[in-house]
């Protein structure tokens, strides 16, 4: 069981490295904008939500998705919409001068827990994570013949959450160093580029879901 927990920690860490997801992009935007604390709060909310999915996967709760097959395509469409919306926000937003009133309002909202709730909500509406973690758990069970246990599931979810948060903590620190070496205009171009990339990914995902639905009917 100890080895399973270690693997859960590593999977949480490594699985969070790609920056194509909405949470990762939001963390990038916060980090490049000099709002590292907000980025970490957002990551913490996302990590808790994904830790819950990891724990449920350890209990074998993937069967719940089989009972409600509409959840997967709906969640994928919702994910595509979120990606496009976030992408357009980053790509089309106007640059804000440092220290202006709007930035101060954003910082106040961040201190009130907004980023944490946002990270939690964006991740909780993505039940496909249950499928992803179920695949991870299947490999772990197959390799070590570990049996599902209601007692062990919370610990597995906790270590997965720790791995996710560990990566985002390191990632935020790297973003801070990266930010210090770049000017405001360059940072703005990077954020806009990420935004358009998100729009493209969201559109591709939406088209893919549409084609799958069409072929299925």
pLDDT band at 150 (very low <50, low <70, confident <90, very high): low
Q: How confident is the model at residue 198 (pLDDT cuts 50, 70, 90)?
A: confident
Mean pLDDT of 136-160: 73
**214 burial type by CB count under 10 A (0-12 exposed, 13-18 middle, 19+ buried):** exposed
Q: What is the largest CA-CA distance in the chain?
A: 58
pLDDT at 163: 94
Runs of H (alpha helix) within the chain = 2-15, 22-32, 36-58, 63-67, 71-92, 101-111, 114-124, 128-144, 153-180, 184-216
Asked which of 139-148, 149-158, 167-176 is least confident by mean pLDDT, the reply is 139-148
Provide mean pLDDT across the span 191-195: 84
- pTM comes to 0.75
Supply the pLDDT for residue 99: 47
Provide the pLDDT confidence category of residue 19 given band limits of 50, 70 and 90: low
pLDDT in tens, 69-86: 777 777 778 878 888 888
The span from the CA of 149 to the CA of 120, in Å, is 25
Residue 21 has pLDDT above 80, yes or no: no
Count the neighbouring beta carbons within 10 Å of the beta carbon of residue 136: 20
> What's the rounded mean pLDDT across residues 30-55?
90
Q: Is the pLDDT of residue 112 over 70?
A: no
- Reported confidence tier of residue 24, pLDDT bands at 50, 70, 90: confident
Residue spans per domain, the chain: 2-71+96-183
Tens-place pLDDT, residues 156-174: 899 999 999 999 999 998 8
109-113: average pLDDT: 54
Q: Which whole-number Å values give the CA distances from 198 to 30, 83, 96, 128, 176, in the listed order?
A: 16, 6, 21, 19, 22
């Amino acid at each position: 069981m100890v080895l399973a927990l270690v693997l859960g920690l590593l999977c949480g860490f490594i699985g969070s490295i790609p920056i194509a997801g909405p949470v990762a992009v939001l963390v990038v935007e916060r980090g490049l904008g000099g709002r590292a604390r907000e980025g970490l709060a957002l990551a913490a909310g996302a990590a808790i939500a994904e830790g819950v999915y990891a724990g449920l996967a350890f209990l074998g709760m993937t069967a719940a998705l089989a009972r409600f097959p509409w959840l997967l395509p709906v969640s994928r469409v919702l994910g595509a919409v979120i990606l496009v919306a976030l992408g357009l926000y980053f790509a089309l937003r106007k640059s804000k001068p440092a220290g202006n009133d709007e930035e101060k309002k954003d910082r106040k909202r961040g201190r009130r827990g907004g980023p944490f709730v946002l990270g939690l909500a964006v991740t909780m509406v993505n039940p496909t994570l249950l499928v992803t973690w179920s695949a991870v758990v299947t490999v772990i069970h197959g390799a070590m013949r570990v049996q599902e246990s209601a007692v062990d599931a919370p610990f597995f979810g906790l270590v997965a959450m720790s791995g996710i948060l560990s990566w985002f903590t390191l990632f935020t620190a790297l973003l801070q160093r990266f930010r210090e070496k770049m000017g405001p205009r360059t940072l703005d171009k990077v954020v806009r580029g990420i935004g358009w990339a998100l729009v493209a990914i969201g559109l591709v995902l939406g088209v893919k879901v549409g084609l799958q639905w069409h072929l299925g009917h």
